[in-house]
């Protein structure tokens, strides 16, 4: 009889003949995903889904939440918006540099008193060259300094002023028409190369070895001209050298432009907007200088 009374605890739940004071069976333990989902959200490791999100829907990406489709690069450098903002910064700085340089060149070309003064005081040329070389080394070698505001912009401004003075002094020795013609040709060349770099499928960033070889040839050619100059001026040889220099730095302009886009084999870090503007500005100034030497040598 006792055994029969104790066996009532094994009868079905209430509503089917169970006593009200009988404890209900414990619920099933939660799955691993359910147990860890709340902890991950509280810890900040997972972005909470928007209201109404269906956890069973994998969404547009391969992850479970919408945030899984975002790039995983450092600070989102691969994001298109970041890259476009970077390109706008570079070209804004480049525009200011070119406007400043054009103004200085125009002053030294059209103002005869200023032209006569700088041509009779070459010490300013060597001082500007020393400032240019020093600031270029600092900006090229000190990555931390060229990323630190406002020192990066201050150094870039000093670099631009010194190189603008060097370019303007070179322009003062040539005819005004030749200077204006070279300005127009340089603008057209830079515009065409920029469009080609944006639209062409040719990857100039993978041709750095070829460009380095051409730059070495240009350097050796400059040394050769320097050695031959005391024995007499050779106009056609100087013209060939100037044309080769304009071609080489036009290719470097295409390379530096594609480094900004981030769609080729190599790309520039979006933190390096000062360095990107410096490289493109230097390429444009070299193209203008070599074109001026080529046209000037052909007019003599």
DSSP character string of 4-64: HHHGGGGS--TTTT--TTSPPPPPPPPPHHHHHHHHHHHHTSSPPPPTT--TT---SSSSS
- Using only C-alpha atoms, the chain has a radius of gyration, in whole angstroms, of 34
Instruction: Point out the domain boundary residue: 149, 173, 197.
Output: 173
The model scores a pTM over 0.75 = no
| Token code pair at residue 222 | 């400059």
Quick one: 168 and 273 in the same domain?
Answer: no
Q: 19 falls in which pLDDT band (50, 70, 90)?
A: very low
Mean of the per-residue pLDDT values of the chain: 75
Instruction: Point out the domain boundary residue: 173, 191, 225.
Output: 173
Q: 25 falls in which pLDDT band (50, 70, 90)?
A: low
Domain-embedded: residue 61: no
Quick one: 206 and 293 in the same domain?
Answer: yes
Q: Cα–Cα distance between 239 and 23 in angstroms, integer?
A: 102
Residue range of the domain that includes 181? 176-300
Q: Cα–Cα distance between 167 and 276 in angstroms, integer?
A: 20
Instruction: Point out the domain boundary residue: 142, 173, 204.
Output: 173
Domain-embedded: residue 9: no
Task: Provide the 10 A C-beta neighbour count for residue 93.
Answer: 21
Quick one: 169 and 181 in the same domain?
Answer: no
Please name which of 84, 83, 104, 93 lies closest in space to residue 154, comparing C-alpha atoms: 93
Answer yes or no: are the C-beta atoms of 156 and 278 closer than 8 Å. yes
179-192 per-position pLDDT tens digit: 888 999 999 998 98
Helices (H) and strands (E) in the chain, counts: 11, 0
Quick one: 112 and 164 in the same domain?
Answer: yes
Domain-embedded: residue 12: no
Q: Domains in the chain: how many in total?
A: 2
Q: Is 232 helix (H, G, I), strand (E, B) or coil?
A: coil
What DSSP element (H or E) covers 84?
A: helix 80-110
Residue 56 pLDDT greater than 50, yes or no: no
Q: Cα–Cα distance between 277 and 258 in angstroms, integer?
A: 13
122-176 per-position pLDDT tens digit: 888 899 999 999 999 998 888 788 888 888 899 999 999 999 999 999 888 888 8
Domain-embedded: residue 84: no
- Which residue carries 């028409």 as its tokens? 177
Q: Mean pLDDT, to the nearest integer, of 265-289? A: 86
Task: Provide the 10 A C-beta neighbour count for residue 95.
Answer: 11
């Amino acid at each position: 009889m006792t055994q029969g009374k104790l066996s009532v605890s094994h009868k079905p739940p209430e509503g089917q003949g169970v006593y009200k004071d009988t404890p209900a069976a414990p619920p099933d333990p939660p799955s691993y995903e359910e147990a860890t989902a709340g902890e991950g959200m509280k810890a900040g490791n997972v972005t909470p889904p928007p209201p109404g999100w269906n956890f069973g829907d994998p969404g547009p990406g391969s992850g479970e939440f919408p945030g899984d489709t975002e790039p995983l690069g450092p600070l989102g450098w691969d994001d298109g918006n970041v890259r476009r903002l970077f390109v706008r910064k570079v070209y804004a700085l480049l525009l200011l540099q070119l406007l400043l340089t054009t103004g200085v060149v125009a002053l030294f070309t059209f103002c005869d008193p200023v032209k006569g003064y700088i041509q009779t005081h070459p010490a300013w040329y060597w001082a500007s060259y020393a400032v240019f070389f020093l600031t270029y080394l600092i900006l090229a070698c000190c990555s931390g300094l060229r990323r630190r505001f406002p020192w990066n912009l201050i150094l870039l401004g000093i670099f631009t002023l010194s190189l603008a003075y060097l370019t303007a002094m070179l322009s003062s020795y040539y005819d005004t028409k030749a200077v204006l013609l070279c300005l127009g040709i340089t603008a057209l060349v830079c515009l065409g190369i920029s469009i080609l770099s944006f639209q062409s499928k040719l990857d100039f960033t993978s041709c750095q070895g070829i460009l380095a070889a051409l730059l070495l040839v240009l350097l050796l050619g400059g040394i050769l001209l320097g050695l031959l100059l005391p024995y007499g001026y050779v106009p056609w040889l100087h013209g060939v050298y100037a044309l080769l220099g304009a071609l080489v730095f036009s290719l470097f302009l295409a390379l530096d432009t594609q480094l900004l886009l981030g769609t080729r084999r190599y790309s520039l870090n979006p933190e390096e907007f000062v360095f990107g503007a410096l490289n493109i500005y230097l390429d444009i100034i070299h193209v203008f200088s070599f074109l001026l030497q080529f046209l000037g040598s052909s007019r003599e």
